[in-house]
Structure 1
Amino acid sequence: MAAIGFVVLGLAGLIIGGELLVRGAVSVANRLGLPPLVIGLTLVGFGTSSPELVTSLQAALAGAPGIAVGNVVGSNIGNVLLILGLTALLAPITVQPAAFRRDGSVMILASALCLGAVWSGEAGRLVGAGFVVALAAYLAFTLIVESRAARSEAARVYAAEAEAVPGPEQPVWLALVTAVGGLVVTIFGARYLVSGAVSLAEAAGISETVIGLTIVAIGTSMPELVTSVIAIRKKQGDVALGNVLGSNIFNILGILGVTALVHPLAMPPEILAFDIWVMCGASLLLVLFAWTGWRIGRREGGVMLAAYIAYIAWLLA
């Protein structure tokens, strides 16, 4: 029972802390006059992925690579099949071709790099550094291109991601306190979650990797779900899609990269045997659905959601 309590407490801390961190950081950026394009592409992307980052770091340092890697792979699977599936069921998503061609291609490339790292059996500091450099290059290129075409559809999507962050504007000092407080809550939430997840895996007789792929991955993906639901309620389905694409890119290049840079990761054999292929398959399925008519409808959303339910059932069988 204590393990379950730690998991619940940790998930609550991650959700609350992640939201406070994003709200505070975006409010500070707005007060400092940063363009919405920059805020949406960087702060919102990093902020909504902060639960995954802190959790994977905590898990790696605690000697639980199954949770660290499973969190990243499971979050990417959940982002596409669960979050985007639910979003498309609520309202069909219109795909902006220019933004999707670039970000969708980068997501596929990042997925291929993740597959290579898992296939090699270990992600060392060199691999981690390469991932981080690749993420920095992607962000720099996107900012340069979209800043020159500030009225493009892609720039509008990134700016709308910043506007999708809920909450009133705050004075700079209060926004800073909110962001720092959110980071602290996220760190403690991750600590409780990892501790509870390890204990729960031992008590239930299942692997840490499965816990990472399911409970931990779903929990740390809640900020992306909130952002996507807010966007779809504002009839901005392309923002929800951009949020998922950006999150998946950040998860692999940023979270897996930083985690491997801080603490080299041994790749769990279970991930190579099954889950990495599901992640790559989900990415390709998203590309297929998006390119057929530049629209993800309710039928495609239903297929995604059904695939996710089948995947979880397979893991827990």
Structure 2
Amino acid sequence: MGALLMEVVALLVGLALLTLGGDGLVRGAVALAARWGVSPLLAGLVIVGFGTSSPELVVSLQAALGQSPDIALGNVIGSNIANILLILGICGLILPLTVQANALRRDGLAMVGATLFFLLLVRDGSLGRPDGLMFLVALAAYLVWSYRTERVHPEGPEVALHQAEADSVRPRPQALWLSWLFTLGGLALLLVGARLFLWGAVAVGEWLGIPQALIGLTLVAVGTSLPELAVSLIAVLRREADVAVGNILGSNIFNILAILGVSSMVQPLPLAGRLLAVDQWVMLAAALALVLFLLTGRRLNRFEAAALLGGYVVYVAFMAM
């Protein structure tokens, strides 16, 4: 029992370090970007989008290196499902999310495209190094597409959205050394937190008799999605619905193209039975439902948010059966 208590403590401490590290990394990087005159696209889309996904990256990478592919893949698939069904479900219940369709159309379609690309590449039951390279090439193409779009239309809604995303996490003006401290300190906390969190999650899951795929889909996925939850909730409380939704779209794109790209380049990832048979399709259904809600009614009302949240409850209950 003493060993289990230690593992639970490691899990909770690791989760806290992941959350603090992700927040510190994003805030420090955005402050440095502002000091160096980085464009709204890079600050909002790349730094905030990738930064809030940094816990997923570090955890999935360490899981892949530790020969735990079910956790590496389950973390990404589960995070994408939780980002839409759980986080936007909660945010939409707090405040109906009225959005500018033009600002989100590109990223919404890119998210669905990345999800379909994932389904295409895992048809053989694994992600190898060539698949990882294709993910990273697709990520580069998406960033070039975004840059060219926003350079041609610098006053467009996408630029305003990414500027708002950067502003939502930018700290007050601070000394250069403090920005670097936030950035490097956040990265260090992520690395230590990921190791503790993974050790605790796997140990607790084994004690409870839970397969590693389910640990990745639930406990690890929700834990690493806390930065996305924090950014989206703050945006909702500020009545910035575009930022709340844009943060989730960007995070889901990076989760597939960047995190699985890097992880499968480092270590090929075989796909477990239920991830291939069930969970990847739930991820696709969630992505399509969100884009449908946003591009038809240009809002996520409380009824639709309740449907998303209810869908997550049913999904988790189904896993427990």
Q: How would you bin the TM-score normalised by the shorter chain?
A: over 0.9
Question: Which residue number in structure 1 is paired with residue 46 of structure 2?
Answer: 42
Q: Which secondary structure does the structure 2 equivalent of 1:120 belong to?
A: coil
Equivalent residues of 2:57, 2:259 under 8 A apart? yes
Equivalent residues of 1:77, 1:282 under 8 A apart? yes
Q: Give a deviation string over 1:85-135, Cα, whole Å, max 9, x none.
A: 111111111222223221111111111111123332111111001101111
The TM-score with structure 2 as length reference comes to: 0.96
Counterpart residue type for residue 63 of structure 1? Q
Does structure 1 residue 83 correspond to structure 2 residue 107? no
Match of 1:284 among 274, 278, 288: 288
Match of 1:59 among 56, 63, 71: 63
Question: Which residue number in structure 1 is paired with residue 177 of structure 2?
Answer: 173
- State the Cα distance separating 1:287 from its structure 2 match: 1.6
Question: Which residue number in structure 2 is paired with residue 15 of structure 1?
Answer: 19
Equivalent residues of 1:61, 1:263 under 8 A apart? yes
Match of 2:135 among 116, 131, 134: 131
Q: 1:3 to 1:116 in 2, by over 3 A?
A: farther
- State the Cα distance separating 1:75 from its structure 2 match: 0.3
Tell me, in whole angstroms, the C-alpha distance in 1 between the residues paired with 2:237 and 2:309. 19
Does structure 1 residue 196 correspond to structure 2 residue 185? no
Equivalent residues of 1:92, 1:295 under 8 A apart? yes
- State the Cα distance separating 1:166 from its structure 2 match: 5.1
* Unaligned ranges ≥5, structure 2: none
Q: Which secondary structure does the structure 2 equivalent of 1:119 belong to?
A: coil
Mean Cα deviation higher: 285-294 or 65-74:
285-294
Work out the number of aligned pairs and report it: 317
Equivalent residues of 2:79, 2:217 under 8 A apart? yes
Question: Which residue number in structure 1 is paired with residue 254 of structure 2?
Answer: 250
Tell me, in whole angstroms, the C-alpha distance in 2 between the residues paired with 1:104 and 1:208. 30
Tell me, in whole angstroms, the C-alpha distance in 2 between the residues paired with 1:177 and 1:147. 32
Mean Cα deviation higher: 189-198 or 54-63:
189-198
Q: Which secondary structure does the structure 1 equivalent of 2:119 belong to?
A: helix
1:1-317 aligned at under 5 Å gives the runs 1=4, 2-165=6-169, 167-317=171-321
Q: Which secondary structure does the structure 2 equivalent of 1:248 belong to?
A: helix
Tell me, in whole angstroms, the C-alpha distance in 2 between the residues paired with 1:80 and 1:65. 23
Q: Which secondary structure does the structure 2 equivalent of 1:292 belong to?
A: helix
Equivalent residues of 1:37, 1:156 under 8 A apart? no
Q: Which secondary structure does the structure 1 equivalent of 2:123 belong to?
A: helix
> Deviation above 4 Å: which 4+ runs of structure 1?
none
Mean Cα deviation higher: 4-13 or 214-223:
4-13
Counterpart residue type for residue 108 of structure 2? G
* Unaligned ranges ≥5, structure 1: none
- State the Cα distance separating 1:242 from its structure 2 match: 0.7
Equivalent residues of 2:108, 2:249 under 8 A apart? yes
The TM-score with structure 1 as length reference comes to: 0.97
Q: Which secondary structure does the structure 2 equivalent of 1:206 belong to?
A: coil
Counterpart residue type for residue 218 of structure 1? V
Tell me, in whole angstroms, the C-alpha distance in 2 between the residues paired with 1:291 and 1:136. 25
Q: Which secondary structure does the structure 1 equivalent of 2:161 belong to?
A: helix
